[in-house]
Amino acid sequence: MKKGNYLSKRTLYAFLLFSMFIFTPIVFEDIVNNTVTSIEDTSTNNIANNVIVTSKIQTITYDTSVPFIYENSTNVIFDGIISPGEYTESYTDAIGLTAHWEHNGVNLSVAIEANGLGFIAIGLGSDRMNGANMIIGGEFTNNNTDYCLDAIGQPVITNPVALDTQSDILSCAASENVTSTVLEFKIPMNSGDTEDVVMETNNTYNFFFTYHETLDDVFDPSISNHVGMLHSNPSTKLFFRPSLEVYQTQISISTPSEIEQGKNFTLSTILVDENQNPITDLSVDFFRETQFGELIIGSATTDNIGKAELNYSNDILRGNVTFGVIFNEYIGKVDSLDIIYRKSQITTEIFFSHIEFSEERVRDILFIPIESECCEGGIFYLLVLRDVLFYLALFSVWGLYSYCVILVLKIPFNRKKSKIRENDEQVMEDN
């Protein structure tokens, strides 16, 4: 029994010693790497070159969370086909349906795409089915005939819609393929029909969508069970923006193709419109692509030639890294004219060459880099905390390691003393 206890304890301590010997270097390497990585972008030296210029741009504020359409002179062809550039705006609903639309202050033009072969419907002017001004249409699958209905939403499930006494649909067309349907129509923004909603610019209206996966007849009694029918949120808002001059934007980026790890370099961009006119006094965001997506590393404002710059350095990056610059859509006023600058972005790759660590460089990573430019202010104290935790963990592990060594060495010694004591007691008994 005693021998068994002795062997089990000795085996246990030996196993602990072996485990700590193997895993301690791995654990501490992970601690150092994770700590350095976590402060990677916080500790970099990011300086944006913001140039203040006199600008004629006046910001116009809109709720960007609300889908919108605005006045445009594009001529839409109502053929049940959505051509590139035919519509100025599009919106994708949570049910997977996409709407393309625009207005000219008089008429509203809409094209709706749905992943089904049944009817498509849009309700306007109400946050519920009851009382909504509804346009319903599609293409009959059996004979490829288009249909379009002007209807009013009803409060009963068995008969959810009723035909409007006056149809105010100006144009309508639909098309269908093996998996989806397109409905395209035009209605007046103010039809004069008391059962229709009056739509005006600078106003917001409720709208919702619904479509059926297979059923074309919206008056089919089986529709009341809602099987195969998808509904969007009836409280979604639609904003009719006033006339805007739309400008596409072009953005370029200039960077070194290769940079030494940890060295400072400049990211430079020029932002112009489709006519190559500089876009001034607007913000652009510089970013770096990571495994978690685009990480914004800084912002800068364009100067009088549309140029913006960002100085950047990073002690950790190595190999090919993708950087980019993005200009988000902007709405403003120039010389009393409402304009919209479209979103644009561009990326490029920079190769970070690896440098061998000197003794001073190793000290900067494993200890507090007191003289390093990356560690001013709060970053210095962050690294102090890192090093304190590092040493506490180090001493704790190696303290436990030492304790186990002592126990392993002490076991045979105690066993030997115990054996001598037993022999002495036996001799005394014999005497």
Q: Which of 188, 220, 241 is at the close of a domain?
A: 241
Do 234 and 123 reside in the same domain of the chain? yes
User: Is residue 232 scored above 60 in pLDDT?
Assistant: yes
In the numeric block, which tokens belong to residue 276? 């190559």
Do 159 and 282 reside in the same domain of the chain? no
222 against 109, higher pLDDT: 109
The helix/strand/coil state of 231 is strand
User: Is residue 35 scored above 50 in pLDDT?
Assistant: no
Average pLDDT estimate for 4-32 = 56
User: Is residue 406 scored above 50 in pLDDT?
Assistant: yes
Residue-level pLDDT at 50: 31
Neighbouring residues of 279: CB distance < 8 A, sequence distance ≥ 6: 249, 271, 272, 273, 302, 306, 327, 341
> Within 10 Å of residue 154's Cβ, how many Cβ atoms?
16
Residue-level pLDDT at 42: 38
Write out pLDDT tens, residues 145-166. 899 999 988 876 667 788 888 8
With respect to residue 360, please indicate whether it lies within any of the assigned structural domains: no
pLDDT band at residue 38 under the 50/70/90 scheme: very low
Mean pLDDT in the chain?
76
Do 13 and 85 reside in the same domain of the chain? no
pTM of the complete model: 0.50
Asked which of 110-114, 232-236, 275-279, 340-344 is least confident by mean pLDDT, the reply is: 232-236
Average pLDDT estimate for 180-206 = 89
Answer yes or no: are the C-beta atoms of 147 and 139 closer than 8 Å.
yes
Do 8 and 27 reside in the same domain of the chain? yes
Per the structure, the count of domains in the chain is 3
With respect to residue 292, please indicate whether it lies within any of the assigned structural domains: yes
Provide the residue range defining the domain that includes 17: 2-38+373-430
Asked which of 21-25, 45-49, 378-382, 387-391 is least confident by mean pLDDT, the reply is: 45-49
Do 215 and 292 reside in the same domain of the chain? no
Do 51 and 78 reside in the same domain of the chain? no
CATH number assigned to the domain comprising residue 178: 2.60.40.1190
256, amino acid identity: P
pLDDT band at residue 39 under the 50/70/90 scheme: very low
Residue-level pLDDT at 70: 64
Q: Which of 353, 382, 398 is at the close of a domain?
A: 353
CATH number assigned to the domain comprising residue 276: 2.60.40.10
With respect to residue 364, please indicate whether it lies within any of the assigned structural domains: no
Our CA angle for 183, 184, 187, nearest 5°, is: 125
Neighbouring residues of 101: CB distance < 8 A, sequence distance ≥ 6: 69, 87, 89, 90, 91, 108, 109, 110, 111
Cα–Cα distance for residue pair 417/7, rounded to 1 Å? 17
Residue-level pLDDT at 171: 93
With respect to residue 362, please indicate whether it lies within any of the assigned structural domains: no
> Within 10 Å of residue 75's Cβ, how many Cβ atoms?
8
Residue-level pLDDT at 363: 46
363 against 102, higher pLDDT: 102
The size of the chain, in residues, is 431
Do 253 and 319 reside in the same domain of the chain? yes
With respect to residue 202, please indicate whether it lies within any of the assigned structural domains: yes
Residue-level pLDDT at 41: 42
Torsion of CA 383, 384, 387, 391, to 10 degrees: -170
Do 191 and 289 reside in the same domain of the chain? no
Q: Exposure of 327 by Cβ count < 10 A (0-12 exposed, 13-18 middle, 19+ buried)?
A: buried
With respect to residue 140, please indicate whether it lies within any of the assigned structural domains: yes
Q: What percent of the chain clears pLDDT 70, i.e. is strictly above it?
A: 66
pLDDT band at residue 296 under the 50/70/90 scheme: very high
Do 106 and 186 reside in the same domain of the chain? yes
Average pLDDT estimate for 197-202 = 85
Do 333 and 399 reside in the same domain of the chain? no
Q: Which of 195, 217, 241 is at the close of a domain?
A: 241
331 against 418, higher pLDDT: 331
Do 34 and 86 reside in the same domain of the chain? no
Average pLDDT estimate for 114-137 = 88
Residue-level pLDDT at 396: 78
Do 347 and 271 reside in the same domain of the chain? yes
Average pLDDT estimate for 231-246 = 75
With respect to residue 198, please indicate whether it lies within any of the assigned structural domains: yes
Q: What percent of the chain clears pLDDT 90, i.e. is strictly above it?
A: 26
With respect to residue 278, please indicate whether it lies within any of the assigned structural domains: yes
pLDDT band at residue 89 under the 50/70/90 scheme: confident
Write out pLDDT tens, residues 316-336. 888 999 999 999 988 777 666
Answer yes or no: are the C-beta atoms of 19 and 11 closer than 8 Å.
no
